[in-house]
Structure 1
Amino acid sequence: GMIANGALVLNLFFTLGILASFQAALTMSGIAGLVLALGMAVDANVLIYERIKEELIAGKGIKKSLADGYSNAFSAIFDANLTSIITGIILFWFGTGPIRGFATTLIIGIICSFFTAVFLTRIVYEHFLAKDKFLNLTFTTPVSKNLLVNPTFKFVENNKKALTVTGVIIAICISALAIRGLSQSIDFTGGRNFQVQFVSPVEPEEVRSLIADKFEGANVTILAIGTDKRTVRISTNYRIEESSSTIDSEIEAYLYESLKPLLTEEIPLEVFIDRENRTGGSIISSQKVGPSIAEDIKIAAFWAVVLAVIAIGLYILMRFRNIAFSVGSVVALISDTLMILGIYSLSWGWMPFSLEVDQTFIGAILTAIGYSINDKVVIFDRVREYINLYPKRGYKELFNSSLNTTLSRTVNTSFSTLLVLLCIFILGGDSIRSFSFAMILGVIFGTFSSLFVASPIAYLILKKRDKGTREVIEA
């Protein structure tokens, strides 16, 4: 455990060093990418340790188990990291400032984690083993010793139930999207953002009640910024279609009239719209996104998600040379995306934090896709290994064995990543709370789809394709 922690510290050190060499400014989104990269870095350590435990259980000595564990885990770690990097590249290509910062730190963190987890930790172990130290390592603790040891869950036998439940969930999500839709930010609808700072603390609902009447018929969302409750972000698409030269000034005047009860010292309009003079409350920043720009952003976001799924599907096809694994992965990733969108559709309007769908949310979707594929790669890597090792076994036994032997890794990795995301969700502030919420959903749904969507679909395709060759074995 301490060696893995040391690898994480070195990973952080290398990542920050590379960012410093680029003279990059570490923003909140960049910190989120850095923390998430550390959470994902644990996956490599878990994979290696689970493999070493399997070799020890098989009766091998610690030195041989260590060598075989690292060797057998390498392909799964490499594939999982590369698919995450593919997602990061697409994030960087299609994203704007904050998303690019997130993608940059994520890519650098993943590359550094591959180096520290696969190479540096092995050097440490081999150094001490050569001196006849660490010879009694079991890679277990009293708590984990009997946790998910040799599970025998019948995953394949429950394929129909799993796919039926998944189908019902997706149907509910699609219905919610069709009926309620999503709370789209001005990134996708066009509109104006105003950050207004008050002298005294205010509640978002109080601001909304004052503005709603003035901006009748328009979408208005209010989000608290910071922890002092003195700054809010007001987003509205009120009269965004108009192109008059005075429209921006008119909107600011409407905003001033609406917020007068919350302003102090009876400040005039000139002071309220002065970004530098914050006496008594004023607009401190504003942003406008026209309808045509919003449409371009929406199209770019759509293609970013589509290209990420296609790129990952093609890589899985190329790497595993089997269409069943590629189709299973793509269908599972699509189901992950639909379920995240469905939860956002069902939840916006009553959750205690903003669930606006903006470019940051698209970044969260792409990151969730990149993380989700890690599980699929590990499971399919084990299936491929067992197909070669046990050519006389039927697919039912092969898939059940693969899912059960990788279950401990799946649970451990998902749990450790959820801990990181919960820290970001609770401590990261309002600006990235929606992002971390989407990622939490991504980890939960990604784990679910690995076991109950991707694997069943791959099994059914393989069984149908090889009908006649393994059919007798299945019987």
Structure 2
Amino acid sequence: MRWFETPDFNFIKAHKIGYVISGILLLAAIIGIFTKGLQYGIDFKGGKEFTLEFDEPIEVVELRSALTESLGSTPVVKRFGSPRDILIRTDDERDITTVQNAILGAVEQSFEGNQANVIKTDIVGARFAEDLKRGALNAIIFALIVIFIYIFIRFKNWTFSAGAVAALFHDVLIVVGVFTIFGEIAPFSMQIDQSIIAAFLTIVGYSLNDTVVVFDRIRENSLLYKTMDYDEMINKSLNDTLSRTVITSVTTLFVVTVLFIFGGEVLKGFSFALMLGVIIGTYSSLFVASAMVVELRRWRKEAS
């Protein structure tokens, strides 16, 4: 960690490399999204929902495994209140009675002696799924707008707002691209559902926090070193906050990795999105947000 005690990395010079890396990642993400399309979960594409009550508590992982073989796809299986109540969601296209019989048959075969009773069935219609998609998209857009206004009020400079929002958009779009491109080959579910939307908003919050710390140091140094070249001052600010950025990112990544390994099948997609978000968010706070501030300031100066 001695590298970060008195760092003197030339981030401004490395911004050009950052442009290339970000450009390649964003292009790949956009191509993947437009060619393959987003891989929506049951929440966003509709499906069938069953609430089962078992005679005895049952393991969710074992039940999910048994139902996957019976239904031909991995359903969403969650506890619903008590340890004996289970909520099952599936995108099986067969009629609801056939799907219900398939579920009960799999339960009877795999968990002999632990009888299940269906206490509720429901169909998640396409219209409801569309409403959820629209709500999720609006939540992300609204968050970016509020962040733009917050950064503008705090730093009284629109270039900081634009840099922060560009970095956040960059982070979320790349993570969405990874989920789209590798969704069919990953050994766990990478479908976009409500938990993944929650992960995207968490990524936005994490990346924003890191970016604001860097921007705060830029503002402080701009007052302390008024005669220093602006690019040099930006570079000094990034080096000043590098230790904090790296330590925070590594510790957060460690916790999220533990969640990914030991959190169970249901949390793998969520925790994997957070892992990507921490890595990309750290990168963007150093090479995207600050680079945008430098470029926009240079553009504004040339235009005036």
TM-score bucket of the superposed structures, by smaller chain = 0.7 to 0.9
Partner of 2:74: 221
Partner of 1:43: none
Question: Does structure 1 residue 151 correspond to structure 2 residue 11?
Answer: no
Partner of 2:83: none
Question: Does structure 1 residue 211 correspond to structure 2 residue 71?
Answer: yes
State which of 144, 148, 157 in structure 2 corresponds to 1:313. Answer: 148
Partner of 1:362: 197
Alignment of 1:183-262 (within 5 A): 183-194=39-50, 207-212=67-72, 220-223=73-76, 233-236=88-91, 238=93, 250-257=95-102, 260=105
Q: Determine the C-alpha separation between the residues in 1 that align with 2:21 and 2:200.
A: 22
After superposition, the CA RMSD in angstroms is 3.0
CA shift for structure 1 position 282: 5.3
- Tell me how many residue pairs correspond in the alignment: 293
Native 8 Å contact 2:217 2:237 kept in 1: yes
Native 8 Å contact 1:263 1:280 kept in 2: yes
CA shift for structure 1 position 380: 1.0
State which of 9, 14, 27 in structure 2 corresponds to 1:171. Answer: 27
CA shift for structure 1 position 262: 6.2
Q: Determine the C-alpha separation between the residues in 1 that align with 2:303 and 2:24.
A: 33
Q: TM-score, normalization: structure 1? A: 0.56
Partner of 2:161: 326
Higher strand share: 2
Q: Which runs of 5+ in 1 are unaligned?
A: 1-143, 213-219, 240-249, 268-277, 470-475
Q: TM-score, normalization: structure 2? A: 0.84
Per chain length, whose mean CA-contact separation is higher, i.e. which structure has more relative contact order (CA < 8 Å, sep 6+)? 2
Native 8 Å contact 1:383 1:399 kept in 2: yes
CA shift for structure 1 position 305: 0.2
Q: Determine the C-alpha separation between the residues in 2 that align with 1:233 and 1:347.
A: 25
1:253 maps to a residue whose letter is T
Native 8 Å contact 1:224 1:233 kept in 2: yes
Residues 163/251 of structure 1: CA separation in 2 closer, same or farther (3 Å cut) = same
Give CA deviations for 1:196-244 in whole Å, capped at 9, x if unaligned: 77989968676445434xxxxxxx5335668xxxx894511626xxxxx
Q: Determine the C-alpha separation between the residues in 2 that align with 1:256 and 1:432.
A: 28
2:275 maps to a residue whose letter is I
Which of 1 and 2 has greater Rg? 1
Partner of 2:82: none
Alignment of 1:44-83 (within 5 A): none
Partner of 1:336: 171
Residues 189/302 of structure 1: CA separation in 2 closer, same or farther (3 Å cut) = same
State which of 287, 301, 319 in structure 1 corresponds to 2:136. Answer: 301
Question: Does structure 1 residue 441 correspond to structure 2 residue 276?
Answer: yes
Q: Which runs of 5+ in 2 are unaligned?
A: 80-85
Residues 163/225 of structure 1: CA separation in 2 closer, same or farther (3 Å cut) = same
Q: Determine the C-alpha separation between the residues in 2 that align with 1:441 and 1:458.
A: 24
Give aligned-pair identity as a percent.
36
